[in-house]
């Protein structure tokens, strides 16, 4: 089977298939006869809860947006009450003795399949509402268990149709040897998580979760995207050899830990780590990161059954700052919306979630959530060097509103006698082309910038970062992207604002030379990629990199630039060969 490799490495093991219907995990299991009634009660309770959520959502949307938009949720609530839908699920639980999550997934699948055959496009698209309902009820069911982990056997290769951050968060991901999914792209959040764990992952294998069965033997090649079900002896032998070579390469990289990240001609590069949770600080420290350049705070929210309190946030975030002291930690404000959601915070259905409420826009609409997080950040700032980063900034207004909220929170903390650093730097993620183009104006309002190329590429090229079908259009080396990066670098230099690049481009040695050539000197990468990037930096001549950047900016297509950049990275000597 061939998919897209999104996290390098080789794994061999036994498949564990997660039935993740409708973007929420629904592990299937058989229930005993005496459990049936309890399952049906759980179903009723989840329906009631989903209905309550929907009606609340309808009221909010009606008040904030308009009655006609709220109509979607009224229609969904009607479908939820449909007796035939309820009966089919209950019958399955009773007759097939499966848990209600699996029964629900099956019925939703059947209903949406029926929609797929409708010729009318508008009606056909109503399948989305059915899926949404399925997801909502599943979320209500699963929330009962959260934060209980979804049990995966140690050393298993997790196979799923799609792994959402909220699902991955509940898996004991450290136990998985590899991930194989049908959907998702290189820059989707689960891929990022896999890379940060150093776990091999392949996405985009159609029907993987039905073609592969739990218990099948698999080899996953996270370099090429190949997955071998039931591998032949010759394949196993070949991969065994490859694994020992990789181990040798990793050992060689370890020798780089204490060496500086400096180019052959003496240009210094600061290498920070991207983390999502406290556990990531371990590999970040082991690879000697200069600090944490991006702390994605979403994970700490998604593993809880409801919004964490200020004290809980303080506790789990402060541990990272303590561990890294005196190195700095950049905390990013909660970035939800788009492809990231929280099971307990349903967002109004959006026709195009990435172009809807997300990041700082969404937070500013929910000051209670934002203030709680800001209070936690600022309390940490009393003892440790921390910075605050705003996700998905689009314009000045959002920065000003955030500053105003920080002032408000500071006044509250002062009144309560709680210490904080009043000069805590505030930075803007540059992920929207408009923000890149007005970076000089933004510089008057912020203390630093962080280039989020995952989203910047998506928004510049109008190519969904999660959509495998559109992956050929998602081109980090598109001249349009490089020019925008150049604009931001120039603006940061002209206004004397520090600039870090924290998107996944930074962690891929393929891009190191051109990024340095364009003027990047600070990078924040997944801990597992840090030494790989350092190795690359140490093999680069800045003068040559600048020449490469100049030549690339003259070109007019991603293909031409790739042809220039790719072979140079390929030729680079891996540490294993030079050590």
In the complex with ligand PEP, the residue whose CB is nearer, 12 or 296, is 296
Scan residues 240-259 and list those touching ligand PEP (CB under 6 A): none
Is residue 341 part of the contact set for ligand PEP (CB under 6 A)?
Answer: no
Among 280, 341, 455, 513, binds ligand PEP (CB under 6 A): 455
Residue-by-residue DSSP string for 283-317: HHHHTT-SSEEEEETHHHHHTSSSPPPHHHHHHHH
3-state SS class at 294: strand
Q: How far apart are CA 303 and CA 342, in angstroms?
A: 9
Token pair belonging to 245:
């070579």
Closest separation in Å from C-beta 144 to ligand PEP: 29
Q: Which positions ≥6 away from 362 have C-beta within 8 Å?
A: 336, 337, 347
Is residue 425 part of the contact set for Mg ion (CB under 5 A)?
Answer: no
Closest separation in Å from C-beta 274 to ligand PEP: 7
Question: What sections of 428-541 are H helices per DSSP?
Answer: 433-437, 439-443, 453-461, 479-495, 509-518, 530-538
Is residue 42 part of the contact set for ligand PEP (CB under 6 A)?
Answer: no
Residues, the chain: 579
Closest separation in Å from C-beta 276 to ligand PEP: 9
In the complex with ligand PEP, the residue whose CB is nearer, 182 or 335, is 335
Q: Which positions ≥6 away from 394 have C-beta within 8 Å?
A: 360, 361, 432, 434, 435
Question: Does 20 qualify as catalytic in the annotation?
Answer: no
Give kind and range of the element (H or E) at residue 403.
helix 396-415
Is residue 452 part of the contact set for Mg ion (CB under 5 A)?
Answer: yes
Question: Does 189 qualify as catalytic in the annotation?
Answer: yes
Among 263, 288, 453, 475, binds ligand PEP (CB under 6 A): 453
Is residue 389 part of the contact set for ligand PEP (CB under 6 A)?
Answer: no
Closest separation in Å from C-beta 321 to ligand PEP: 20
Closest separation in Å from C-beta 329 to ligand PEP: 15
Is residue 182 part of the contact set for Mg ion (CB under 5 A)?
Answer: no
Neighbour count for residue 323 (Cβ, 10 Å): 16
Q: How far apart are CA 370 and CA 409, in angstroms?
A: 10
Residue-by-residue DSSP string for 32-56: -GGGHHHHHHHHHHHHHHHHHHHHH
Token pair belonging to 325:
């002291």
Token pair belonging to 427:
């930075």
Q: Which stretch binds Mg ion (CB under 5 A): 177-185, 237-245, 427-435, 475-483?
A: 427-435
3-state SS class at 219: strand
Is residue 280 part of the contact set for ligand PEP (CB under 6 A)?
Answer: no
Among 169, 438, 502, 549, binds ligand PEP (CB under 6 A): 502
Is residue 464 part of the contact set for ligand PEP (CB under 6 A)?
Answer: no
Q: Which positions ≥6 away from 122 have C-beta within 8 Å?
A: none
Cis status of the peptide bond prior to 147, with omega within 30 of 0: yes
Chain position carrying tokens 């490089």: 482
Closest separation in Å from C-beta 391 to ligand PEP: 7
The residue from 12, 20, 384, 502 that is catalytic is 502
In the complex with ligand PEP, the residue whose CB is nearer, 281 or 539, is 281
In the complex with ligand PEP, the residue whose CB is nearer, 98 or 193, is 193
Q: Give the number of residues in contact with ligand PEP, rule: CB under 6 A.
A: 10
453 binds, among Mg ion, ligand PEP, none (CB under 5 to 8 A by kind): ligand PEP
Closest separation in Å from C-beta 465 to Mg ion: 9
Is residue 353 part of the contact set for ligand PEP (CB under 6 A)?
Answer: no
The residue from 12, 20, 189, 384 that is catalytic is 189
Q: Tell me if 450 sits within 8 A of 430, measured CB to CB.
A: yes
Is residue 302 part of the contact set for ligand PEP (CB under 6 A)?
Answer: no
Q: How far apart are CA 287 and CA 253, in angstroms?
A: 10
Among 503, 507, 509, 527, binds ligand PEP (CB under 6 A): 503
Among 162, 410, 455, 504, binds Mg ion (CB under 5 A): 455
Token pair belonging to 159:
């196979």
Q: Tell me if 340 sits within 8 A of 167, measured CB to CB.
A: no
Q: Tell me if 233 sits within 8 A of 555, measured CB to CB.
A: no
Is residue 508 part of the contact set for ligand PEP (CB under 6 A)?
Answer: no
Is residue 452 part of the contact set for ligand PEP (CB under 6 A)?
Answer: yes
Residues 170-209 as x/- pattern, contact with ligand PEP by CB under 6 A = ----------------------x-----------------
In the complex with ligand PEP, the residue whose CB is nearer, 410 or 455, is 455
Is residue 454 part of the contact set for ligand PEP (CB under 6 A)?
Answer: yes
Order across the sheet with 4-7: list the strands.
Answer: 4-7, 201-203, 178-181, 156-160, 10-18, 217-221, 226-229
Q: Which residues bind ligand PEP (CB under 6 A)?
A: 192, 296, 335, 431, 452-455, 502-503
Catalytic residues: 189, 502
Q: Which residues bind Mg ion (CB under 5 A)?
A: 431, 452, 455
């Amino acid at each position: 089977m061939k998919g897209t490799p999104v996290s390098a490495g080789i794994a061999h093991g036994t498949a564990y298939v997660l039935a993740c219907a409708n973007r929420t995990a629904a592990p299937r299991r058989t229930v005993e006869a005496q459990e049936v009634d309890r399952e049906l009660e759980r179903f009723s309770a989840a329906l009631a809860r989903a209905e309550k959520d929907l009606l609340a959502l309808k009221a909010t949307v009606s008040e904030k947006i308009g009655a006609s938009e709220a109509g979607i949720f009224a229609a969904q609530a009607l479908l939820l009450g449909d007796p035939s839908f309820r009966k089919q699920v209950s019958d399955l639980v009773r007759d097939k003795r499966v848990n209600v999550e699996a029964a629900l997934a099956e019925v939703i699948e059947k209903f949406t399949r029926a929609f797929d055959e409708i010729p009318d496009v508008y009606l056909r698209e109503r399948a989305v509402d059915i899926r949404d309902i399925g997801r909502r009820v599943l979320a209500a069911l699963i929330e009962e268990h959260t934060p209980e982990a979804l049990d995966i056997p140690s050393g298993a290769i997790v196979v799923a149709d799609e792994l959402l951050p909220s699902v991955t968060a509940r898996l004991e991901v450290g136990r998985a040897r590899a991930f194989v999914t049908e959907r998702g792209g290189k820059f989707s959040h689960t891929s990022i998580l896999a890379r940060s764990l150093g776990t091999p992952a392949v996405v985009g294998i159609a029907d993987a979760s039905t073609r592969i069965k739990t218990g099948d033997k698999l080899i996953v090649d996270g370099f090429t995207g190949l997955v071998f079900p039931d591998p032949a002896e010759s394949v196993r032998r070949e991969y065994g050899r490859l694994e020992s070579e990789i181990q040798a390469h990793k050992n060689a990289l370890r020798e780089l830990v204490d060496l500086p990240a400096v180019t052959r001609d003496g240009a210094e590069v600061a290498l920070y780590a991207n983390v999502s949770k406290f556990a990531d600080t371990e590999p970040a420290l082991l690879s000697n990161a200069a600090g944490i350049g991006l702390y994605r705070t979403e994970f700490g929210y998604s593993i809880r059954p409801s919004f964490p309190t200020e004290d809980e946030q303080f506790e789990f975030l402060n541990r990272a700052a303590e561990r890294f002291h005196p190195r700095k930690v950049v905390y990013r404000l909660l970035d939800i919306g788009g492809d990231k959601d929280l099971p307990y915070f349903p967002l109004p259905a959006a026709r195009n979630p990435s172009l809807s409420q997300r990041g700082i826009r969404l937070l500013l609409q929910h000051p209670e959530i934002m203030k709680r997080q800001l209070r936690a950040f600022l309390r940490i700032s009393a003892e440790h060097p921390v910075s605050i980063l705003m996700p998905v900034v689009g314009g000045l207004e959002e920065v000003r509103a955030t500053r105003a909220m920080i002032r408000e929170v500071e006044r509250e903390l002062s009144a309560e006698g709680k210490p904080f650093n009043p000069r805590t730097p505030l930075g803007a993620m540059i992920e929207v082309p408009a923000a890149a183009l007005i970076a000089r104006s933004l510089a008057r309002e912020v203390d630093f910038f962080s280039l989020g190329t995952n989203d910047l590429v998506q928004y510049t090229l109008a190519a969904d970062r999660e959509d495998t079908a559109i992956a050929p259009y998602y081109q980090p080396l598109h001249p349009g992207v490089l020019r925008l990066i150049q604009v931001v670098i120039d603006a940061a230099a002209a206004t004397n604002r520090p600039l870090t690049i924290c998107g996944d481009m930074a962690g891929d040695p393929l891009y190191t030379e051109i990024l340095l050539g364009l003027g990047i000197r600070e990078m924040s990468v997944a801990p597992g990629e840090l030494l790989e990037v350092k190795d690359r930096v140490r093999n680069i001549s800045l003068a040559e990199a600048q020449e490469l950047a100049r030549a690339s900016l003259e070109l007019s297509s991603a293909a031409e630039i790739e042809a220039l950049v790719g072979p140079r990275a390929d030729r680079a000597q891996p540490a294993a060969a030079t050590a």
